[in-house]
Amino acid sequence: MEPVVKLLADLVAIPSMNPMGRTRSGREYSEQTLAEFLAGFLKKSGIDVQLQQVAPGRPNVLAYVDARASKTILLEAHLDTVHADNMAVEPFDPVIRDEKLYGRGSCDTKGSMACFLQAVLNVLARGSLKQNVVLLFVSDEEYRFTGAKYAAAQGLKADAGIAGEPTQLRIVRAHKGVTRWKAATRGVAAHSAYPERGKNAIYTMARLISRLEEYAATLLQQSPHAGLGTPTLSIGVVEGGQAVNVVPDQCWIEIDRRSLPGETAGSILDPIRSLLHDLPDWEFQEPYLSVAGMDVPENAAVVQKLSASVKEVLGESIIESAQYATDAGIYAAAGIPTVVFGPGNIAQAHTDSEYIELKQLQQAVHIVERFLTR
């Protein structure tokens, strides 16, 4: 078995599922075992490595390879995967069939992780590394991005970055951000036979919701970003009331706002607050998730070097934008222009028969090797 395939199989065999706020525990719902495996793997390869404890059982892996070069590249991938309930394939016992490796995380995003590691080792072995490398493997990308945020807050430094996600070897140089928060309305409970004695929190919320619906429509009228279109807003959850014979004293919703690069949680929430200012008895909670969008210029060195490397291996390179948010937005906001790139297809991510094509995995290694020698 080729070294990168063996490495990927080892990574997939270690469960690192994100509990994603649900009451699930045990080491398989933690990044700890995988982080320890990676630390051991890197040490054995003679690379300095440390674990950052983001939260109990939720570490980041941070390693530094000094090439005595003037530039430093960040190669990043997340440790966590989504859960493996009801999968049609063995989630943690990787099987290779028809030149595909099946298992949870094979595509999202242990394929990228194996590719970065193998490429760095191969280039080091040949003595042709032309950039210092920061290898960063973070926890909790699938839920709240806390690993990437922690790493950035600890003073992560690099001249540019590549965040590994399944892009089918396309270079995603811009993507949207996302901010999510809860809004609540308060009322006064009463027996439903005497509704005039209470105040109905659902009626209040209904007015709030229709304002937000109108606002969402105005967002679509904004002049669009060239690659990303317009911002969007969607209400995804509504909950309220205890019983049909009680006037509800509480109602809440969850709001998902997709942002363009440059927008911040403040610039997103302030106009919505003022739009609702004349409505009574509502409040916003602090956003529980906020990741900035990013837009690395096409002529940035990281885009150009990566594109040249992709062309050498595949014959052509595709540079594009994406609607989804990734850790790259966090590094970009911290001053590290970071693109998204990796083997695998997002269409297979999170599915019940997740796989990665081995050919793409091997091509990715060749591409990153060439990138690191530039």
The residues assigned a catalytic role are 80, 141
Nearer to Zn ion, 201 or 340 (CB): 340
Can you give the binding site for Zn ion, defined by CB under 5 A?
108-109, 165
Residue with tokens 């956003």: 287
Nearer to Zn ion, 120 or 328 (CB): 328
3-class SS of residue 241: coil
Nearer to Zn ion, 143 or 284 (CB): 143
CB of 78 to Zn ion, least distance (A): 6
Nearer to Zn ion, 77 or 120 (CB): 77
CB of 275 to Zn ion, least distance (A): 34
Across the chain, where does the E strand assignment appear? 48-55, 58-65, 72-78, 95-97, 100-102, 132-138, 160-163, 171-175, 177-186, 190-191, 232-240, 246-247, 250-259, 282-284, 289-291, 294-295, 319-322, 338-340, 355-357
CB of 109 to Zn ion, least distance (A): 4
* End-to-end CA, the chain: 28
Residue with tokens 């004349």: 278
**Residue 90 CB-density burial (10 A; 0-12 exposed, 13-18 middle, 19+ buried):** middle
Q: What is the sign of the dihedral through the CA atoms of 163, 167, 172 and 175?
A: negative
Nearer to Zn ion, 349 or 372 (CB): 349
The tokens of 86 are what?
């009801």
Contact 16, 29 (CB under 8 A): no
Q: How far apart are CA 179 and CA 256, in angstroms?
A: 6
Count of CA atoms in the C-beta half-sphere (13 A) of 283: 5
The amino acid occupying position 281 is D
Nearer to Zn ion, 109 or 204 (CB): 109
The tokens of 119 are what?
């490429």
CB of 108 to Zn ion, least distance (A): 4
Query: What are the residues whose beta carbons fall under 8 Å from the beta carbon of 167, sequence distance 6 or more?
Result: 322, 340, 341, 342, 346
Contact 166, 349 (CB under 8 A): yes
Contact 5, 97 (CB under 8 A): no
